[in-house]
Structure 1
Amino acid sequence: MYIKKISSLIMAGILMVSAVGCSEAKGTEDRESMTLKVGVMPAVDSAPIFLAEEKGYFSDLGLDIEVQVYTNAMNRQSALQSGELDGAMTDVIALVNNVENGFDIKVTTSTDGAFPFLVNPNYADSKEVKVGMMEISVSNYLADKSLKDYEVEKVYINEIPARMEMVGAGSLDMAVIPEPVASNGELNGLKKIMIENNEEFSPDVMVFTGSTIKNKSKELKAFHEAYNKAVEDINEDDQEAREILISKLELKAEIKDKILIPEYNQARVPDKAYLEGIMKWNKEVLGKEINLKYEDLVDGSFVND
């Protein structure tokens, strides 16, 4: 009887340890399944993502995130379309054209950026101006909005560093360059002129593929939650954002106080009127008719009401 009792206790202990082990294994498995790969551009828009990663906000929520920086938007787009990325930082001009062409992506939040012109110091403010930009992108959109009184020759260059080099060499009068890379150019002798955005939303956005939205809703919820936490930090004190941008983008430390830091918003999606305006511009300037509904472009389920 005594032996049976001891055996029962031992067996109960084994079962308890086994149950705990299974529970821990399951927890580990769940945690390991929370992965996300995103592509960002060398822009101040990326600061909340960089900071959330640096401060462990993603990992605190069980999300293992991989952040890739792209200086060429076409390379980023290829990585997104080939499935190498779950989501990426892009702009609403590229968004509407990609969705119209059958690529299943949606905006889950706007981001906040700053886009100056970098100007060759020998440019004499002529009404005829040669401007470097990317064709289907925010750079084209902002140049059109800002240079209405000029006769603009548009030169399409995807690589951001190449645009800056051509401005410095005098091959271009100016180029639309995202901040903080623009401040690096300013440090090298180019003039930096801020492009004012008087619209409610920034033209930059984070998009995720349809399959990611469908199959990784927990990951996306954690992504936006960590993003919002980093936004709160930056708006309280932007020094960490300046430092993390310089570190992650391998920029010169001397630009720290020159960087134009926007006021970041909590995760939010652009409204219907804004996207309809983008589609109208797309038709008038790029000559491409966009036949999409707001719901084809936006998923607002990961932002706060």
Structure 2
Amino acid sequence: MLMNKEPAEDGLVGISIRGNQLRMAEVVLRSAQKYISKVASSEIKVPFDFADIRKRDNIASITQEINKLYELSGFESNKASFSLDSNEVLIRKIPIDFPLESTDLREHALWEASQVMINPLEDYIVDFYVQNNNPNDENDRILILVAVRKIIIDYLKEIFASTKLHLRGVDVDIFAAQRVVESTYDFSHDSKVTLIDIRDHNIQISVLFNGFFMEQAIEYGNGYPGDKGERNDFLSRMISKEMRRIILDNKLGKSVDDMEEIFVYGDNVDEGMIEALVKAHDVNLHRVNPFEKITLEATPVDPDVTKHPEAFVASVGTAIKGL
């Protein structure tokens, strides 16, 4: 979304780094059909973290890790798209209830961005898109504003400059996840859909409904349990509480059961937590599998692909965007 050149014709490698976990998925296009040719992951020595972005030694280390996984896994495409962690990105939803031409819309988007930035606007790359909020009123629209610091994009470009891959696009994990869900599962435009990303330090909840979009990250805080069983109960209660609050605040219903579909994905999804949510709510709940609809051509060597396909949502999602 933030940087996108012309679509690749032969294939594209989607890459995500969250913490110390590097994941890559190669999607190829054959006879107008998309296939996932290879998927792989590895633990890297240094994280892709904004706090460490000025440490120049990290660039060589991450470059080496990407090249190593690329070669060992037999990836073939030389084009890549990178999915940024949304913790590193500013996302805002802004109502627009008056008509704007395309030039005026961009000026308005930049003005809105300047109102929420800590640093000068020129320090950021700003992108946006518009959604209709009300199908019966073409002037009732929502501006989805996305901004990332230029230093992060420059850091990415330096990393890929010494890899075997050409960086063709920069995406955001939350949009990559929505792309996977929308292309994998069948639900109508007016279905109330929730996506829940289970992360190391927080959960991120996003909602899709009739063009409506919102996202919110909720930190675990000091009460996050170390015991696995207690952690599953903690997460299921936290998700239920925060979803109910979001539903009430946005007038989407009265309870979690008013949502029609819930999709769970991320690095820390556990079956015990899924079971707790299923018992607590009368709603269709899915553990996202990005390989369910797009054919995975080769049997994956990495056991995590089979055991935890939901962890590969961002890498697959950013790859299918490029094709």
- Common topology (TM > 0.5): no
> What's the TM-score, normalizing by structure 1?
0.23
> What's the TM-score, normalizing by structure 2?
0.22
Higher helix share: 1
From the CA coordinates, give the structure whose radius of gyration is larger.
1
Higher strand share: 2
